[in-house]
Amino acid sequence: MMVLRIALGIEYEGSGYHGWQYQTHDVLTIQQNLEQALSQVACHPVRVVCAGRTDAGVHGVEQVVHFDTEVVRPMKAWVMGTNSHLPAAIRVRWSCEVPPEFHARFSAVGRCYRYFIYNHATPSAIWHRHAYWYRRPLNAELMHQAALYLLGEHDFSAFRAAGCQAKHARRCISSIQVSAQSPWVVLDVQANGFLLHMVRNIVGSLLVVGVEDQPPAWLQQVLLSLDRRQAGVTAPPQGLYFMAAQYPSHFQLPTLAHTSALFSPLLS
């Protein structure tokens, strides 16, 4: 029987989960819930591969996964049927059949993350699980100037967590921007790949510049040092969103209209 490869777009609110990746001990993960729900629809065990694994507490706007099956189902069944078996914090947004050579991780040519900082003297009751509250006033323009030093291909060892299993630390950041609309300060970053805690470590370092404890050029010194101890602290996970993965156009994957515009009213 022919094996079909199906791609899905997944949205999730990560607050109550121990990250994306399935774990052997008894903790809740996004992957575990998704695989169990898909297995119900497929009537056989399903294993998925994702575009980019996220840590505990990190959210996903349009995570992309693929899985293989011999079962023929209407595309809407992979969406509606799977969602009927998922908790409210996880949703399949789209599904499509893809060619056998498609791979959610290795076919991706880019990944986009967004980090939200709620920069106000008092914390927000609404956003406490969805943004990082930072009390001290931040100079977003200086943070943006500092972030530009990270553009291009570099060794990002200074922003790499100790437990990172990547074979090397070279990554290429193609786009990075810090923008602000009070009380929000937002980092958008796009790269061909990311190291463990890389975005959160970049945010922690940008905060040092934002409170004017260091000039923007300090971030270049940190980058060139290749020393994690020279960078700022790791920012907490609740402000981080996996926005999207990018693929060559010939795969013709669906995209969500709200992906690039998520939370746009906050920055309008």
Does residue 248 surpass a pLDDT of 60? yes
Residue 193 corresponds to which amino acid? Answer: G
Q: How far apart are CA 34 and CA 11, in angstroms?
A: 11
Domain ranges, residue 155: 110-242
Same domain as 61, residue 41: yes
Angle at CA 28, nearest 5°, toward 259 and 34? 50
117 membership: H or E segment, kind and range: strand 110-119
Q: How far apart are CA 95 and CA 66, in angstroms?
A: 9
Q: Flag whether 213 is in a domain.
A: yes
DSSP one-letter code for 50: E
The residues that are catalytic are 55
Report, as an integer, the average pLDDT of 166-176: 95
DSSP one-letter code for 70: S
**pLDDT value for 146:** 98
**pLDDT value for 174:** 96
Confidence at 262, pLDDT banded by 50, 70, 90? low
Q: How far apart are CA 243 and CA 59, in angstroms?
A: 9
Task: Give the end of a domain, one of 84, 107, 130.
Answer: 107
Q: Flag whether 259 is in a domain.
A: no
**pLDDT value for 27:** 85
Q: Flag whether 255 is in a domain.
A: no
Q: Flag whether 114 is in a domain.
A: yes
Q: Which residues contact 120 (CB under 8 A, 6 or more apart)?
A: 133, 135, 183
Same domain as 152, residue 93: no
Q: Flag whether 60 is in a domain.
A: yes
Backbone angles phi, psi at 172, to 5 degrees: -120, 115
Kindly provide the b/e burial profile for residues 130-151, where b requires at least 16 CB atoms within 10 angstroms of the residue's own CB: bbbbbeeebbbebbbbbbebbe
Question: How many domains is the chain built from?
Answer: 2
Does residue 109 surpass a pLDDT of 90? yes
Report, as an integer, the average pLDDT of 75-101: 96
Report, as an integer, the average pLDDT of 48-62: 94
69 membership: H or E segment, kind and range: strand 59-69
Same domain as 146, residue 42: no
Does residue 127 surpass a pLDDT of 70? yes
CATH number at residue 49: 3.30.70.580
Does residue 261 surpass a pLDDT of 60? no
**What share of the chain in percent tops pLDDT 70?**
95
Same domain as 229, residue 120: yes
Q: What average pLDDT does the chain have?
A: 93
The alpha carbon of residue 4 and the mean position of all alpha carbons in its chain are separated, in whole angstroms, by: 27
Q: How far apart are CA 105 and CA 120, in angstroms?
A: 37
Same domain as 176, residue 198: yes
Does residue 178 surpass a pLDDT of 50? yes
The alpha carbon of residue 34 and the mean position of all alpha carbons in its chain are separated, in whole angstroms, by: 17
Report, as an integer, the average pLDDT of 100-105: 96
**pLDDT value for 1:** 73
Same domain as 114, residue 222: yes
Asked if 14 and 59 touch (Cβ cutoff 8 Å), the reply is yes
Same domain as 19, residue 88: yes
Facing residues of 114 across strands?
188, 241
pTM of the model: 0.93
Does residue 203 surpass a pLDDT of 80? yes
Same domain as 148, residue 53: no
Angle at CA 47, nearest 5°, toward 45 and 50? 160
Confidence at 233, pLDDT banded by 50, 70, 90? very high
**pLDDT value for 22:** 82
Q: Flag whether 257 is in a domain.
A: no
Angle at CA 225, nearest 5°, toward 220 and 231? 70
CATH number at residue 135: 3.30.70.660
Q: Which two tokens stand for residue 80?
A: 């509606």
217 CB neighbour count, 10 Å cutoff: 12
Facing residues of 245 across strands?
111
